[in-house]
Structures are given as structure tokens and as C-alpha cells.
Chain A
Amino acid sequence: MSNNANFPLLTLIMFTPLAGAVLLLFVNKNSTNAIRWIANGFAGLGFLVSLPLWFWLDMATPDWQFVERHEWIPSIGAEYLVGVDGFSSLLILLATLMGLIAILSSWTAITTRVKEYYIFLLVLQTGMIGAFVSLDFLLFFLFWEVMLVPMYFLIGIWGSANRLYSAIKFFLFTLVGSVVMLLGILAVYFYHHEVTGIYSFDITRFHQLNMPFDLQWWVFLAFFLGFAVKVPMFPFHTWLPDAHTDAPTAGSVILAAVLLKMGTYGFIRFSLPILPEATRAAVPWVVTLCIIGIVYGALVAMAQRDWKRLVAYSSVSHMGMVMLGMFALNAVGITGSIVQQINHGISTGGLFLLVGVVYERRHTREISEYGGLSKVMPAYAAIFLVMTMSSIGLPALNGFIGEILILQGIFVVNKIWAAFAATGIVLGAAYMLWLYQRTMFGTVDNPKNENLPDLNLREWATFIPLLILAVWIGLYPKPFIDRLDSSVVRVMMRVNSADVSLNAGAPGAGVQSPVVSSDLLTLDGDTGDVIELPVRGGAR
């Protein structure tokens, strides 16, 4: 454990947005422009202070980095313990960037109760970052639940028609999942005490536990409920379309880009490495749910008449892919899963922003209300095209990289599963292109659309970072994938132990991909050898 910044960088990143929120408390609620400047300023600052995570991250070490450790509740062994690895650092960067974009996108969209709105967004930001940096399970859980409240208000106050219903549904679904997860956390905590005599919520300690299978299995179910609701996996996804549809644009962007990643982050950080045997045993079940989610999400998306609801259901399908890659339980699949999490944040976040742009102009999301927008809003149409292509995985854009890695990972495990996953991609192309066709092409037959203004400078500013990232990851993903090495190795060390029942049929199934760096490939080979490489792992 080390802190190569030599100062509390993570604390700074985490609390910059909160400082903004506290400052906003003291601003008169009627000076809306001052409030907007302050909120945007702190969001921008939050992004800037998170940039060292990209530049200073040491990719060579398997250790946790930027670690800070302080006493918190010593009588139960809980600590203020934060630190990152490549995986969480990427998600933090995603969170700070998307937070900035979401706040910037709200400038003219939010006109009522402006002060509270930005306070909630900034508090939410702190909650998200806190969850990604926590290495203490109790601290993680605290931040995990803290996120619920601001999101509840964002949907409930600034949402559209059915907002109260959607807000409470979001809240209760997530809450049920997470309280059950809390029981799992406590079970691990007491088991850890039983075998070591130490009370601690330190997850790096939990990563070294070898719990009996029965206990693992129950804890896995508890964690699963918490994380699967958040991802969301079929059949726990029903809150998502409602929450997305009724949330204000910024809320949808944050929800899609960052909050859903909490679930997948939880699986990779907690379920897989703490409960490896249960994870392996659960693979067939989880994969079945993933495949149902992928196909079902895509089919339902195709049937939507509401633009935003369509994108929401596409999320269900895409997050199914992310989960599928993860539960391939090999290095390529997990790498792909992580990369695809970032990609989903970029493309789906972008798509929700795009819906927000036309919604702000027309106040409707009915797809049939639109048509021929490429003639009145050419720049908008161009960006929408890139985001659509990114979402459906066109080569040279980011989505392709994630999907190909996931498919590779799953293919070596089971070809039928891979075939189902590929179906999802085909269906994805179908509903997205059809959406594009219905809204952008054709003639402008709705007179209300004739004079829609194209993107303004501020709106451009929200899209440019996403476009750059989409192309960057699409063409040169190496910097992203390289920094995932140690995270993936840490998980593989735990999951891929001797009695591999899963990919026994694929010994040394060479997944020779030019985009996966060599470290990953060593783990990909004969799985029996993997436990011979303990020096790389998370053990410390």
C-alpha cells in the first residue's frame, strides 16, 4: 500500500464537490447565475483534481495506490481507508468527467429550485467517488447508500410526469438490495474475526479469506441482490426504465454513466475476489440472467415509442453484456467488461444528453414527434450518429473494443453463450439504427421541428469530451487496458484457482488479441498454472 501522491489526493477528489455544495448553501437562492457558475466551477475543479489519477498511476505495481488510512470507529474496526487501482481510478475519472458534463448540461434546462438542484448533484458526486475509493467495506456501504438520497430528490423534484412513482421505486429497489448486501458484509466481517481474531472491514484483508462454500454461497446471494439491482440485471431491472425516463437529463446521464457502474464495480471488487468459489458455482445462473437481459432488453428497446425509454432499455441490454464478460471469469472477459463499463458510460451518457437537447427544445420524447432532424440540426445529427455507432459497436469506435473483448472472453468458455451475446449486438444495431432513421432521416413533416436551433457552444462543450474519448478508445485503447492489468490480475488470482470447473473445456484457449497486453495473456493460458503466480496478486 502506498500513496505516490504524498498528500491526501483521494480525499481531495472526493470532497471537492461537497465543498461546492456547502458553499452553495450560503448563496442566495435567487442569484441563479452565481449558483450555476459556482456549481460548474466546482465540478470542473473536481475533474481537474482527479486528473493526477490518470498521470500518476503506477501501472507496474499490483499494490493499491494513493492509499490513506485513518481510524474511524476503532471499537468495531472500521477505518477511513481509501485507495485505488487502475479499475477504480478509471471509474473515478469517468465519474468526475460525467459529473462535470451533467452539471454543464443543466445550465438552461433547470430553472426551478436551482440551488437545491446543484447541491444535490454535487453531493451525489461525492457519494459516487467515495464509493469507488473506499477500501473499507463499511465506508463503501455508507457512500453507496448516501447516493440514494440526492438521486431520489433529483428524480422526485425535477423529473417529468411520473416522477414521484419513479423516484420511490428507484429508492426502494436499491434499498432492499443494499440492506440485504449489508447482511452479507457483516457475515464476512464476523467470519474474518473468527479466523483472524481481528475486527476489520478492510477489503484487502477480505480478499485473502477462504470462506467455506456454504457461507460463500449465502454471502454471494446477499451481495448479488445488492449489486444486481444496481446494474441492473434482469429481472431486477424494472426500476431503471422508469427512473431514467422521469429523471431530468443530468440525472439520467449520471445514472447511466456512473451509478449503474456501482453494481458492476461491486461484483468485480467484492463478489468475485471475496467469494471465488461461489462465483464459479453461480456462473451458469448469472450467465442465463445476462443472456435474458441482453436479448430481452434489446427486444423491448425496439418496441419503445419514447426516445429516452428506448435508451434506458438499451442500457439493460448493454449492462447484460458487461456482466456476461465479467462472468466469463477469464482475463480477457473481465478486461472487456471493465472497458465496456467505461464505454457504456460514454455512449449511453452521450445518448441521454442528446435526448435532453431535443427535449429541452420540444418538451416531448415521443419518437413519432420527430423526423428529419438532420436537416434542421446537422451538427446534432452528426454527433448522434457517432454516439449511435459507438453504442452498437462499430469498429474504430469505443464500443467495438469492449464488445470484441467480451465476446472473446465468453467464446472460449461457451460458444452458445457467445452466440446469444452476438444476437444482442445485432438487435442493438437494429433498434439504434431504426431510432436514428425515424428521428434524423426523412422529411421534416412536423412543423414544430422546422426551426429548431442546432447545438450551441455550451452543448458542444458537453459532447466534445465524449467524442474524443469514443474515438480514442476506439483507435488506441492500450492506455486504458494497460492500467487495468493489476486489477484484473487481482481478481483472476482469486477466481481462477485450481478446481476450475468452468473453462475446463478450453485449456489454453489462446485468446491472442493484439489489444490485450501480455500480462493478461499469461493468465489466460493453462488455468492450472495460474495459482503458481502469487507474486502478482492482491495478496499483501
Chain B
Amino acid sequence: MPAGFSTLDFYFILPELVLTGGALLLLLLSVTVPKQDGVLLGVTLVTIATTLVAVSAFAGLDETVSRGLLAIDGFAAFFKVLALLSAALTVLMSAPYLRVEGLKAGEYYFLILCATLGMMFMASGLDLITLFIGLETMALSFYVLVGYLKPNPRSNEAAVKYFLLGAFSLGILLYGMSLLYGATGTTSLAGISAALSGQETSAVLVLAVILVGAGMGFKIAAVPFHMWAPDVYEGAPTPVTAFLSVGSKAASFAMLLRIFVEGLPALAEEWKTLFWGLAVVTMTVGNIAALTQSNLKRMLAYSSIAHAGYLLIGVVVGTERGVASMLVYLGVYLFMQLGVFGIVTAMRRGDIIGDELKDLTGLFKRSPVVGFAMLCFMLSLGGIPPTAGFMGKMWLFGAAIDAGEIWLVVIAVLNSAVSAYYYLRVVVFMWINEDEPAGSPIAIGPTMAVALGVALLGTVVLGVYPQALFEYAQSAASTLDGITSSIALR
């Protein structure tokens, strides 16, 4: 064993090892076991569940392991739980979708687990290299997943677009990281932070902030780096879109927070200005573009761009409360966003693709429960109580007010009001239009029912009684190094 490593380091990455083992087992099973769909689904879910148990075994720890490469802290655990939960729900809603589309399940689940593995390293990485490898692991898996509908030209186009733009953005990110390394002589976040403290801000450092910010901006789909999102969201298999918009976004935010809050507190003024601007244009452009979409997946793509804008408020605030409110929001976002995509997935039937707004016509009349669930998700995305989205937004805006970011938050609430328009348009199609519904009836299988049930429960319960999430997010945020506590209202 090389110097500095110990068996303890393997102990601390037990969850990741379990996940890797499960993923490899899946590959093996997919070529050996006949009649495999149920088995593969079972193995995938068991792997995720075991990993979740392993993650929770480290709850409460705040350790730096593997020679400073990885953090085992509450912040990492929170994002690992988010990644695993969203993977589990994605897998549950994928099962019937794969059947309808006639896709092979083995590689698909393998890639989902690989992406999840990447997300977990993005959450706990304390070194630019670890973070970058985590990001790359996730991104590569997604390039393949987005193009998984091989005969479908839209899916192919989406995959190529995502790959090209993704590679380009990773290049930019890497360039920024190399500048940071050049300026400080280290890739460790703690080392960078120490090297920069007390140092004069130089043009190189500002450039590094801009490049790293732009690279992360691509990943979270912040305007003006969002161009890929609508096409990719529309072309990708719907469950993959769901996973992309929740898991990938959450992990990218984790990485963004790690780099900027832990690594670059000395440049806080610069990156806060950068993200202030990004937040404003992201939510505004996202919401305005969503207003006119007629394709549901495209609309949700723009809506998720807007949500990235809201989340950036938390980064701009940068205090413990700001980060905690982001975590709350991401937790809430997981349920509502996966719920919506679950329903869009269920809309895909043998005779209809079902991702146009007009395909929702008469949904409530035909399947009242699905219609009600969709109503809850839409209200939640719009931030209207008593749904979880309201609690998330309320606390995010609260953190901004606490930090004195009044104009930012005014722009955000006005955006939030605009967004209600297009979310309600969906409701109009489902509940109010009297036309005959298109396509064959919607069948919700058992796995889809579980996925939708969990999403709906999360959306409603966290809207009425969010205490547990608030508490968890607060304790997770407080473990992020370099975080400042709240700033009093002026």
C-alpha cells in the first residue's frame, strides 16, 4: 500500500465501494441471467438501499480522509442521500418506461449507478482533482444515458449536443482549475483557501473565478450557459431527464459550494458578484422562455433553469443560512421535479409520446389521482402553499433578506409570480379543458406507483410539516468549512 494510505480510507468510502460493487454485479448479471428485467431492477434497488444504509452509518462524522481528498461530513452525507434518493426514484420510474421503449435494462441501470457514484464524489471531494473526476464520472454516464433511445434522432441529437457542450464546459472548468493551481501551487481546497487568504486579488484569480463559475454554470444550466438544456431535456429518455435535472443539478451545486465556499472564501466578493448576475438572468430568462413552450419537457427544462436561478440566491448569500436554505430547496425540488417527470414518463404509452402540453388534456377526468398529483407538483414548483415548494422558496428568500440582498429577492419573487402562469397552464389543460383525452388510458404499474407516491408524499408533507428537512439541512450546512453564520439585517 502506498505511503499515507491506510485501510481506514477504504472504510470511509464503503458506501461508494458498495455502489461500485453493485454496479459491476449488474453488468455481470445482464449478460448471464435470462429474463432479467425484474432481477436487474431488484439488484439495483438493493444496491442503492445498501449504499444508503452505509452512508447513514457515517452520519454525524466530520472527518477529512484519504490525505485530504475526501470529506466525510454532514454536507457530503446530505448530498449523497439526495443522489441516492433521486437515483432510486429514477430507477423505479424507469422500469415501465424501458419496457414501453423496448430498451435493455442492464447497461441502463449500470449507467445510473455510475452517475450516482460520480455525484457522491462530487459531494465529498475536497480536492479539485477528486471533484473533477467525480464530475467526469457523472457526465460520461449521462452522455450515454441521454442517447439511450438509439433509433430516435432527437435522442441522438441531444446526446451529441450534450457531449460536445459538456466537453467544452469541462475544458473551461479545467482551465480555471489549472489557473488556481498555478496561483496557489495546490489542488486541495483547504490549501487554496490558506494560500489565498490575505493575498491581493489578481487578474489571474478573477479569471479563474470566472472560468470555474462558467464551467459549473454549464452543469447547473445557468443562463447564458443553458443552451443545451432544452434540447437535451426534450430528447433524452424522460427518466434520464428527471435524473439529469435533479441528481446532476444537486451534485453540481454541491461541488460549486465546495469550491467557492470552502476553497475561495478570499474571493467571495468576486464570485458573489458573478453569481448575483447569473442568478438574475438565469431565473428571468428561464421563466420568460418557459412561458411560451408547448412541449412539456421543454417547458420543464426552462423551469429547471429558473430553479437553478433561485438556488443561486443561496450561493450569493453564502452564509450558513443561505446554504441551509439551498439544501432545503434541493430536498424539496427532488420530490416535486421527480414527481412531474414521473408523470411525464407515465404519459408515454405504446401509442403516444405524451410530452406535449395538449396531451395532458382531460388528465384529471381520466385519472383523478394522477391529475391531483400533477396539480400538487405544479403548485409546488410554483411555490404555492401548502406544498413543499413554498417552504423551500420562503426560506431561500428569507436567507436573502437576512443577508440584505433585497433587490435580488424582489426580482426572485416577481419571477416566482410569473412562473405561476405557466405552471397553471398545465393545470388548465389537465383540469379545465373539456376536450376528449388523447391516446390510450394511463396505466400506473407498481414501481411507478411507488415512485409517484413517494414524490407526492414528500411534496405534500414537507409543505405542511417541513421541520425534519429544515433541521437536517441546517446541521448539514453547518459542517461546510469556511461558512459564516448569519448576517444581521441592516
State whether A171 touches B385 (Cβ < 8 A).
no
Cβ-based interface call for A370 (8 A)? no
A189 at the binding interface (Cβ < 8 Å): yes
- Any B CB within 8 A of the CB of A114: no
In the bound complex, CA of A148 to CA of B421 (Å): 13
**Chain B nearest Cβ from A69, distance in angstroms:** 16
With A74-B467, A171-B420, A186-B401 as known contacts, state yes or no: A142 contacts B385, CB within 8 Å. Answer: yes
Minimum CB–CB distance from A208 to chain B (whole Å) comes to 18
CB-CB nearest in chain B for A144: B385
- Taken residue by residue from 399 to 442, chain B's Cβ proximity to chain A (1 for < 8 Å, 0 otherwise) reads as 00110001001100110110011001000100110000000000
Q: Which residues of B contact A191 (CB under 8 A)?
A: 489
Chain B, 439-466, CB within 8 A of any chain A CB: 465-466
Complex CA gap A149/B390 in Å reads 14
Which of B397, B420, B421, B466 is the one whose CB lies under 8 Å from A182? B397
When each residue 366-400 of chain B gets 1 if its CB lies under 8 Å from chain A and 0 otherwise, what string results?
00000000000001000111100010001101100
Any chain B CB within 8 A of the CB of A152?
A: yes
For B397, the chain A residues whose CB sits under 8 A away are 182-183, 186
CB neighbours of B428 from chain A (8 A): 156, 164
Q: Which of B397, B413, B465, B474 has the most CB of A within 10 A?
A: B413
Asked if B9 is an interface residue, CB under 8 A from chain A, the answer is: no
Tell me which residues across on chain A come within 8 A of B488, comparing CB atoms: 190, 194
Encoded as 1 (CB less than 8 Å from any B CB) or 0, chain A from 194 to 230 comes to: 1000000000000000000000001000000000000
How many residue pairs bridge A and B at CB < 8 Å? 83
Contact of A75 among B410, B432, B474 (CB under 8 A): B474
Cβ A172 vs Cβ B466 within 8 A: no
Task: Tell me the bound Cα distance from A185 to B96 in angstroms.
Answer: 46
Contact with B along A160-183 (1 / 0, CB 8 A): 000010001001100110011011
Contact at B410–A157, with CB atoms within 8 Å? no
A187 within 8 A of B: yes
Q: Most A CB atoms within 10 A — which of B395, B428, B470, B489?
A: B489
Distance of A399 from chain B, by nearest CB (Å): 36
Pair B414/A75 contact, Cβ less than 8 Å: no
- Classify chain A's interface size: 20 to 34
Cβ contact of B394, chosen from A153, A157, A182, cutoff 8 A: A182
Q: Judge whether B481 is part of the interface by a CB distance below 8 angstroms.
A: no
Given the known interface contacts A179-B416, A191-B489, the answer about A146 and B385 at a Cβ–Cβ threshold of 8 Å is: yes
Tell me whether A75 and B401 are in contact (CB under 8 A): no
For A168, the chain B residues whose CB sits under 8 A away are 421, 424
Q: How large is the interface on B (under 10, 10 to 19, 20 to 34, 35 or more residues)?
A: 20 to 34
Partner of A190, one of B383, B402, B470: B402
Inter-chain CA distance A525–B395, complex, in Å, is 45
A149 touches B420 (CB 8 A): no
Interface of A is mostly: helix
Closest B residue to A218 using CB positions: B406
Which residues of A in the span 388-407 have a Cβ within 8 Å of any Cβ on B? none
A157 in contact with B432 (CB, 8 Å):
yes
The 8 Å CB contact of A72, one of B416, B417, B465, is B465
Expressed in whole angstroms, the minimum distance between the Cβ of B387 and any Cβ of chain A is 10
Q: Please report the C-alpha to C-alpha distance between residue A410 and residue B383 in the assembled complex, in whole angstroms.
A: 40
* Beta-carbon contact of A175 and B410 below 8 Å: no
* B470 and A145 within 8 A (CB): no
The reply to whether A183 and B413 form a contact with Cβ atoms under 8 Å apart is yes
Chain A residue at minimal CB-CB distance from B467: A73
Q: How far is the CB of A145 from chain B (nearest CB, A)?
A: 5
Q: How far is the CA of A123 from the CA of B40 in the complex (A)?
A: 44
Nearest-Cβ distance from residue B215 to partner chain A, whole angstroms: 33
The closest CB in chain B to the CB of A142 belongs to: B385
Q: In the complex, are the beta carbons of B470 and A76 less than 8 A apart?
A: yes
Given contacts A142-B385, A180-B413, A183-B413, contact A72 B467 (CB under 8 A): yes
Task: Select A142's contact among B390, B401, B470, beta carbons within 8 Å.
Answer: B390
Interface core residue of A74, A156, A183, A187 (most chain B CB under 10 Å): A183
B471 CB-CB contact with A under 8 Å: yes
Q: Which residues of A contact B385 (CB under 8 A)?
A: 141-142, 145-146
In this complex, which of B401, B428, B466, B488 has the most chain A Cβ atoms within 10 angstroms of its Cβ?
Answer: B401
Q: Which chain A residues border B398 with CB–CB below 8 Å?
A: 76, 186, 189-190
The residue from A75, A138, A145, A190 contacting B467, defined by CB atoms under 8 A apart: A75
Structural contact, B470 and A172, CB atoms closer than 8 A: no
Contacting residues, chain B, for A148 (C-beta < 8 A): 384
Can you show 5 pairs from A to B with CB atoms below 8 A apart?
A73-B470, A152-B424, A189-B398, A190-B488, A218-B406
Closest 5 CB pairs between A and B? Answer: A179-B413, A190-B489, A75-B470, A176-B417, A142-B385
